[in-house]
Structure 1
Amino acid sequence: MKLFFMSDIHGSVYYLNKALDKFKEEKADYIIILGDHLYHGARNPLPKEYNPKQVIEILNSFTDRIIAVRGNCDSEVDEMVLNFPIMATYSNILYNNKRLFLTHGHIYNENNMPKLANGDVFIYGHTHIPKVEKMDNIYIINPGSITLPKKNNSHTYGILERNTFKIKDLEGNTHKEISFG
């Protein structure tokens, strides 16, 4: 199974379409959205082609392929217009004998980790900064932001296939990678 990860869309039709083009090119099975679907948030600038209503239409056309969690900019009204659940603080996926703990990062994060077993994978968004590392036998991954990258990073997404997680820019270049032992 091949999983496509993105975070922090923040209502940008432009970057969502670019990311979904990569989803199709990668031939991934599912899209994992790590929160902040529709709104830019008070601390962020308006993203390119900001149009939450159009983002709703686009995302709803992929309903059967999306697993999502709630970001700090997401609300109950957002779930009323999206045809898939987004209000969970976290989700878990079992992948090749590993638990993938999925969250946005505003509640569970590196300073407030959930209880995970050795070899599990903690995947979050929120910071808009790509990251891959192994700490205390837990894999910690952030695919960055497709729309509003920070600290001079590229617009990025993640791909998980055959126990290797790659963070790629929207041109398809690999920036970071980690393999699960």
Structure 2
Amino acid sequence: MKVLIMSDSHGLTTEIDEITNRHLDETKLMFHCGDSELSKEHSGLRLFKGVKGNCDLDSELPNELIEDLNGKTLYMTHGHLFNVKASLMNLKYRALEVNANIVCFGHSHIAGAEMIDGILFINPGSIRLPILRKQKTYAILDLKERIAKVTFFDVNGQIIEELSQQFILE
């Protein structure tokens, strides 16, 4: 199962549409980790499950989302409520509370994926204002049983090899 993950688009619409259309046929789900700055009903987000970021004014978006992905539990939040710019510790504790195997978050605008105590943490970065790199990024998670392949792309659809990794989930 492939899922598209993006975050921190901060008002962009054309780029969201281009990314959506680029991966529409290959992904089963699309997630936005907050700070779209668009309403929940905006046409660009029609295919996305999303959460509220600190810059989102739409109160209808939830602060967190839990989704079953073929027997693995994905937990998504923006990250500002867990102080992710300082540490992932608070977010890890929340992941443990909800028995998450995979955590998707944004807020820091820093793209990356890492395994912490058996939980896969994915931050797709930002398609508008990246930090620590020039590329504006998003990610695709390809989940096949216990294998989780995370591929990062720049906003133009080019794979970023040095960020992309494969993990084994417990």
Tell me which interval the TM-score lies in, with the shorter structure as reference length. Answer: 0.7 to 0.9
Do the aligned partners of residues 118 and 174 (structure 1) sit closer, same or farther apart at CA in structure 2, a change above 3 Å counting?
A: farther
User: 1:157 pairs with 112, 116, 138, which one?
Assistant: 138
User: 2:50 pairs with 53, 58, 68, which one?
Assistant: 68
TM-score by length of 2: 0.78
> 1:86-125 to 2 correspondence within 5 Å?
86=61, 88-108=62-82, 109=84, 110-113=88-91, 114-116=94-96, 120-125=101-106
Structure 1 Cα separation of the partners of residues 132 and 7 of structure 2: 16
Do the aligned partners of residues 96 and 74 (structure 1) sit closer, same or farther apart at CA in structure 2, a change above 3 Å counting?
A: same
Aligned to 1:19: 16
Moved over 6 A (4+): none
Aligned to 2:153: 168
TM-score by length of 1: 0.74
Structure 1 Cα separation of the partners of residues 39 and 46 of structure 2: 14
> 1:41-56 to 2 correspondence within 5 Å?
none
Structure 1 Cα separation of the partners of residues 130 and 74 of structure 2: 23
Structure 2 Cα separation of the partners of residues 56 and 104 of structure 1: 16
**Contact 2:17–2:44 (CA under 8 A) maintained in structure 1:** no
SS in 2 for 1:20: helix
- 1:48-87 C-alpha deviation (Å, 9 max, x unpaired): xxxxxxx559x62255422010101112xx24xxxxx42x
Aligned to 1:34: 33
Structural RMSD (CA): 2.4
Q: Which moved more, 1:115-124 or 1:134-143?
A: 115-124
Structure 2 Cα separation of the partners of residues 18 and 166 of structure 1: 18
Q: Which moved more, 1:170-179 or 1:130-139?
A: 170-179
Unaligned ranges ≥5, structure 2:
none
Identity %: 31
Aligned length: 153
- 1:59-116 C-alpha deviation (Å, 9 max, x unpaired): 62255422010101112xx24xxxxx42x11101111221111010111341312142
**Contact 2:109–2:131 (CA under 8 A) maintained in structure 1:** yes
Q: CA deviation at 1:33?
A: 1.0
